[in-house]
Structure formats: structure tokens, C-alpha cells
A = this chain, B = another copy of it.
């Protein structure tokens, strides 16, 4: 076992799993003392936890009041549940990288007529004839981020289609207008700063009609998830401890205020982009400025990423490598709510000194 307690606490700038939120360990201690791991998911105590977590997450995401939150094991499960519940026949996937592409693959594997459009740089809103349109707010593999206007434009051009939005590494690091989409989902190991093992699925009223028409009968079908959520419960035993901790972290974020969190994200992103742009060894991967992600900064390295990753790792800073065929060429830097201004400034100082 290589888990020898290191003397130096590392800072994880990896784009999920990432650094753990700074209040997480304290909330865990309280949860263990209060024996949250032992309570039944059919108890009143659990219903209170469910109610608390969904209302705190709704607040931090500024969800419209009719939108519901249900839980799954993670975003990968939600791709599959979306394909099982919300695609009558055809889906249309606008893809900016590996994660959008994987969702398309999941829909195809589930037997749907799933169309894929690769977007290289600029996203141009367009009409489609699909039942469901899949967009990725922030593509964690490439650092592409949608401009907020795109959601509204897509909605206007496709009033009858359902819009599914991947917000995995986007919220609550950036503002998303959820009223422009019908289904959205995330995993907690990104901007919420938690260990993996819990997915959050946001659903509006329109999805239930479609899901009932499609008629999937899984224990995690949308009608089943919603039926239980309306009682502050889940269809099967969930990650109770994870749901509790998510609620506490969302509460902390609400106390701080979404605006403070997001303006800090913007400041840190500006600093990171400036540092990388001014450095002779790096160039920003996404050329269109308005599509450069605020939460996942991706840069090409002049001659591979081995030296820079190693250089920073020795200073206790763990960056993400590139994704897929960019594995050895790019660096990916998570800029999540957990990463403090001071940590990012330190990282930028180190980047500047790198030769």
C-alpha cells in the first residue's frame, strides 16, 4: 500500500476529483458523531436531510421553484438514465470534447438515433429535429465553455425539444440559467469539492410527461425518482452520508453568497489565463475568448507536459494532465470554489518562474 502519510499537504488543481472543500472534514466529523451513517433512508431523519440538501442546493444553483432535484451514483449514471427516460427516438449532441462524446455513445448504446455534431471553435445556435438536445456547459476535457446566451438561443430555435445540460464542472462556479433547460446534471467531485460517489440530477416539469411516455421501468426511472423525491426519499438506499455532506457544503456556499464565489472564480480565471498567455512555454487551448472556461483552464505545452507537472508536483501542486490524445501535451487547471485566491496566486507565481 503506497498510502504513506506525506509530510506535505498537496493542493489538487485536478479538474475532479479535486481539492476537498475546506469545511468538508469538519462536517464529516459532526456526521460521524451524529451517526448519520447508521440512520435508515426510510426514517424521518433522512427525510429532513433530503429536504435540507435539496433546498440548499436549489438555492446555491438558483433553480426555478418548480425544478426538482434527485440523486444518482454520478454523471455517468445520469447519461444512461437520460437516454432511458428522455429520448423518445432521436437525440442531437453538440460535442466539444470527450465527455459530450461519451454521452452520445451512451445514447447510441441504448439504441437511440443519436446524432453527433463536433464543434471545433465557435458554437452557432441552430434548429434540430431531435427529441432531446444535449449540451455541455463546460467541457472538462477541453476547457470549452458555452456562452450563457447559447442556452436561450437554443431554446427559442427548438421550443419542442427537451434540452439536457451537462453542468458537471460548471456550477456553482459560474451562473447558469436553468430555466432555459429541462434536465441538468453534475457530480459532486467537481465544483462542490467532495469525494466522488454522488450525482445530482435537476429536472423540470416537462420531463415527467416525456418519461411517462417512454415508460422505462428501472428503479431509477424518472417517475420512480420523482415519486420518492416528492416524499423526500429515494427509490433505493442512497449514499446518505454524501447527501448530508452535500447539503452542509451547499449551506456554507449560500452563507458566503454565490456572487462572492463567482467573482472570485472570475478573478482567479483572469489571473491564470494572463499568466499562461504571457508565458512562452504555454498557449491557451481554446482560441475563442468567450468560450474559454472559467472553471477548467486548459493550455497546450510547448514540449509536452511532463516537466511542468513534475515541477509543480514537487511544490505540492497537482495539476491535471491532458485528456485522451492530449494526455501528454496539455495541462488542465481546475478553478473551483474551493481553490483560494492565495493558492491560485501561488500557482501563478510558480508558473511564471518555470523556464
Contact = CB atoms under 8 A, between A and B. Distances in A.
Interface stretch (A89-97, A234-242, A301-309): A234-242
A80 B219 contact: yes
B17 A217 contact: no
A88 to B, nearest CB: 19
Given A197-B238, A237-B76, A38 B9 contact: no
B17 A41 contact: yes
A52 B140 CA distance: 30
A233 interface: no
Contacts of A187: 237
A248 B189 CA distance: 22
A284 to B, nearest CB: 23
A5 interface: yes
Contact of A238 (B19, B48, B196): B196
A28 B3 CA distance: 13
A329 to B, nearest CB: 17
A261 interface: no
Contacts of A239: 73, 195-197, 239
A189 to B, nearest CB: 7
A352 interface: no
